């Protein structure tokens, strides 16, 4: 196997996942939050691909391709919601979305 | 030539029936003239769920020996078939409840298409047998539900509910996915059976992965502390959607949680039984206490659904055959109670044109005796009174915990039930026992026409929630047959 050791890939995957989670928790714009969720999913994807390479079979890679398609469709729905909100002139700030509370 | 796996089409028939209905509905949304669209879409969607129900019954009858199909990607067994059956039943009632809703004319076809698609995703999800089909099924029904939550964007809060559900749901899915990747890293396998066969208990990758898989599934079953989206999404979504989400999603998520834990992680049972018991206790405590202070009935029922997720996690924590039986049995009355309660909320909402609170529910039972009596039945059922299936469900769940030797779970469950009496009986009190000065009657001429569909849906829910008390033995037999599919 060429290239760096598997643990480097896993470390990067964990860093990506952690970055994404922090983004979801800390940022206020729904757009950035969606982007952070994508980073989380891609962290998981990187881990899948790295493990698939280590085991030398393609299961993890197939999984990762499927995840990419799903992540894209999830973003489509998310962006659609954000467009609908901005058309209705709702403020794009998750801290100000508090019609529903109790 | 590419080698293709053998596909057992019959085993996939509940999913395929609903998928076909979704496709037809999307075409009809364009082709059918607008005046007929509402009735014809509801009819096709209802037919899709009815077909899925029939196929699931046949499948349950004809799959006594569970086995993997389609290159080991799916299971064909009674556990999956019975779960699909309950989901399809929820779908039928959801269609009846949806019919009278004042949908935006333009969206009615798409609404039913998404409902059928969510049902198809759940039927797929419950038969998943590897981590990839698990994730695909989860996203399939989740994405449909995100759109359904936000579909009525004239309603205050519908978009907000959709966005909140999407963000939290996506975080849950990402957690599940990362957990799956770690389990794959720990064992080199994606199939549940092979993960169990490869099990090394002390591999940190596997243990962390297992924890993240449990957390990801708990997001979907809205168990505490992963429930924060539930009250907002349930309150903001159109009420028929809430009814479907609170029942069918919970069936799918809990049934799959049991399957994944029992099939893929039998060697780690000492770890996950404790984790699940912890989540169950947190859900019962947080759900019941938070529900006490709610005035909005949908929000109160949302917290009640969090607490019921806790009650239904008790049999999972017990990890024995009795627990598997208890879960399947409990889901049947729970779905009827939940669908029925939200259907009544929908009826009152349509009457008032405003969100239903405990205040404007005052005197409801005297205005609409049937709906009032039905709502009282549902509240007593949630509480676990005899003469409703809720009693037997809780009893079986506690029996499973007792057999596992965890009597303290029963103590928590009973304490939660006692606390819950305050808010469930609060609804009954609001409907029946308010004096005339407190009544806020609907403005004259404001009442909508009789909604026979909704009435039929409520009657069905009453029949199932009371019937499941009297027909315990046949239902337990079904649950027993389903539970035998799991290696417990």
Which alpha helices (DSSP H) does B353-441 contain, by range?
Answer: 364-367, 369-383, 389-404, 407-432
| Cα(B247)–Cα(B92) distance, integer angstroms | 12
Average predicted confidence (pLDDT) for chain B: 89
CA distances from B487 to B66, B178, B181, B258, B483 (A): 11, 26, 24, 11, 9
Residue B130: phi, psi to the nearest 5? -140, 170
Least confident stretch, B96-110, B125-139, B388-402? B96-110
CA distances from A14 to A9, A64, A93, B71 (A): 9, 16, 28, 31
Both tokens of B249, joined, read 């999603």
Q: What are the backbone dihedrals phi and psi of residue B421, each rounded to the nearest 5 degrees, phi first?
A: -55, -35
pLDDT tens track for B2-42? 777 788 888 899 999 999 999 999 999 889 888 888 889 99
Distances (CA, A) of B398 to B284, B322, B412: 13, 10, 10
- Is residue B193 a contact partner of residue B68, using CB atoms and an 8 Å limit? yes
Length reported for chain B:
488
The kind and range of the H/E element at B74 are strand B74-76
A32 vs B: CB within 8 A: no
The token pair at B81 is 């078939």
DSSP B443: P
Collect all residues of chain A within an 8 Å Cβ-Cβ radius of residue B159. Answer: 81, 84-85, 88, 90
What CA–CA distance (Å, rounded) separates B256 from B122?
10
User: 3-state class of B15 per DSSP?
Assistant: helix
pLDDT, tens only, B162-221? 988 999 999 999 999 999 999 998 888 888 888 888 866 678 888 899 999 999 999 999
Contact between B286 and B309 under an 8 Å Cβ cutoff? The reply is no
pLDDT at B312: 93
Mean pLDDT value across residues B369-390: 91
Task: Please report, rounded to a whole number, the percentage of residues in chain B having pLDDT higher than 70.
Answer: 95
The verdict on a CB contact (< 8 Å) between A66 and B231 is no
Q: Given an 8 Å threshold on Cβ–Cβ distance, is A60 in contact with B235?
A: no
A67 close to B (CB below 8 A): yes
Of B166, B182, B189, which has the smallest distance from its Cβ to A81's Cβ?
B166
Q: Which of A24, A62, A73 sits opposite B143 (nearest CB)?
A: A73
A6 pLDDT higher than 80: yes
**A71 is written with which tokens?**
């992540």
Provide the residue count of chain A. 102
The dihedral through the CA atoms of B187, B190, B195, B198 has a sign that is negative
Domain limits of chain B? 10-483
pLDDT at B295 over 70: yes
* Interface probe, candidates B125, B130, B163, B234, chain A, greatest A C-beta count within 10 A: B163
Q: Which residue has the tokens 């009858």?
A: B61
pLDDT for res B360: 83
Q: Which residues does chain A have within 8 Å of residue B147's beta carbon, measured at their own beta carbons?
A: 77, 80
Alpha helices in B63-157 (DSSP H): 78-98, 108-126, 131-150
Q: State the nearest Cα–Cα gap between A68 and chain B, in angstroms.
A: 11
Looking up tokens 């996915």 gives B177
Quote the pLDDT of residue B87: 95
Chain A neighbors of B143, CB-CB under 8 A? 70, 73-74, 77
Whether residue B376 has a cis bond before it, omega within 30° of 0: no
pLDDT number for residue B193:
87
User: What was the pLDDT predicted at A59?
Assistant: 86
Contacts of B227 (CB under 8 A, 6+ apart): B283, B286, B287, B306, B309
Would you call the peptide bond into B225 cis, given omega within 30 degrees of 0 as the criterion? yes
B375-401 CB burial, b ≥16 within 10 A, e <16: bbbbbbbbbbbeebbbbbbbbbbbbbb
Task: Read off the pLDDT of residues B241-282 as tens digits, 9 standing for 90 and up.
Answer: 999 999 999 999 999 999 999 998 888 888 899 999 999 999
Q: Which residue, among A20, A44, A53, A79, would best test binding to B if mutated, counting the most B CBs under 10 Å from its CB?
A: A44
> How close, in Å, is residue A43 to chain B by CA atoms?
8
* Pair of tokens at residue B362: 């005052």
B72 in the Ramachandran plot: left (φ > 0), alpha (ψ -120 to 50) or beta? Answer: left
Q: Which of B455, B431, B432 is nearest to B360 (CA)?
A: B431
Please indicate, yes or no, whether the overall pTM of this predicted structure exceeds 0.90: yes
The closest CB to that of B184, out of A30, A48, A67, belongs to: A48
Contact B184 A60 (CB under 8 A): yes
Contact B132 A73 (CB under 8 A): no
Domains of chain A (ranges, CATH numbers): 6-96 (1.10.287.3510)
CA B136 to chain centre: 18
What pLDDT score does B104 carry?
Answer: 65
């Amino acid at each position: 196997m060429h290239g760096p050791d598997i643990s480097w890939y896993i470390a990067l995957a964990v860093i990506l996942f952690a970055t994404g989670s922090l983004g979801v928790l800390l940022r206020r714009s729904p757009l950035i939050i969606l982007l952070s969720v994508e980073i989380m999913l891609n962290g998981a994807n990187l881990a899948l691909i790295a493990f698939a390479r280590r085991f030398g079979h393609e299961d993890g890679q197939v999984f990762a391709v499927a995840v990419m398609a799903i992540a894209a469709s999830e973003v489509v729905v998310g962006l659609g919601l954000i467009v609908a909100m901005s058309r209705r002139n709702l403020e794009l700030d998750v801290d100000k979305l508090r019609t529903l509370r109790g | 030539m590419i080698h293709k796996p053998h596909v057992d089409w019959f085993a996939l028939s509940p999913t395929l029936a609903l998928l076909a209905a979704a496709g037809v509905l999307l075409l009809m949304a364009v082709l059918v003239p607008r005046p007929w669209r509402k009735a014809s879409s509801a009819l096709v969607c209802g037919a899709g769920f009815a077909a899925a129900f029939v196929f699931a019954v046949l499948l349950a009858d004809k799959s006594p020996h569970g086995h993997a199909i389609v290159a080991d990607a799916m299971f064909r067994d009674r556990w999956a078939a019975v779960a699909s059956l309950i989901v399809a039943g929820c779908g039928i009632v959801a269609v009846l409840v949806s019919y009278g809703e004042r949908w935006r004319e333009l969206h009615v076809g798409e609404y039913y298409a998404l409902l059928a698609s969510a049902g198809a995703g759940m039927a797929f999800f419950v038969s998943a047998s590897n981590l990839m089909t698990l994730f695909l099924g989860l996203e399939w029904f989740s994405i449909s539900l995100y759109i359904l939550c936000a579909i009525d964007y004239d309603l205050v809060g519908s978009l907000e509910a959709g966005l909140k559900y999407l963000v939290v749901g996506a975080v849950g899915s990402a957690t599940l996915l990362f957990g799956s990747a770690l389990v794959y890293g720990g064992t080199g396998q994606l199939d549940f059976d092979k993960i169990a066969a490869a099990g090394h208990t002390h591999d940190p990758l596997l243990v962390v992965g297992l924890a993240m898989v449990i957390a990801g599934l708990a997001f979907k079953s809205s168990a505490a502390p992963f429930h924060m989206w539930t009250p907002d999404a349930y309150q903001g979504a159109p009420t028929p959607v809430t009814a479907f989400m609170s029942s069918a999603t919970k069936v799918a998520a809990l049934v799959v949680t049991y399957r994944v834990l029992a099939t893929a992680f039998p060697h780690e049972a000492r770890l996950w039984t404790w984790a699940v018991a912890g989540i169950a206790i947190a859900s019962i405590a947080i759900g019941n206490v938070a529900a006490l202070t709610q005035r909005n009935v949908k929000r109160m029922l949302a917290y009640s659904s969090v607490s019921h997720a806790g009650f239904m996690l008790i049999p999972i924590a017990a990890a024995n055959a009795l627990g598997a039986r208890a879960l399947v049995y409990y889901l049947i009355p729970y779905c009827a109670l939940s669908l029925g309660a939200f259907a009544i909320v929908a009826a009152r909402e349509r009457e008032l044109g405003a969100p239903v609170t405990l205040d404007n529910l005052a005197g409801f039972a005297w205005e609409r005796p049937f709906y009032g009596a039905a709502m009282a039945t549902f509240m007593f059922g949630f509480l676990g009174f005899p003469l409703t299936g809720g009693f037997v469900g809780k009893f079986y769940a506690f029996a499973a915990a007792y057999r596992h030797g965890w009597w303290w779970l029963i103590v928590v469950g009973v304490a939660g039930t006692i606390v819950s009496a305050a808010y469930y009986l609060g609804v009954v009190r609001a409907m029946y026992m308010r004096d005339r000065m407190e009544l806020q009657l609907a403005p004259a001429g404001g009442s909508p026409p009789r909604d026979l569909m909704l009435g039929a849906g409520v009657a069905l829910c009453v029949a199932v929630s009371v019937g499941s008390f009297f027909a315990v033995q046949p239902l337990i037999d079904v649950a027993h047959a389903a539970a035998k599919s799991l290696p417990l």
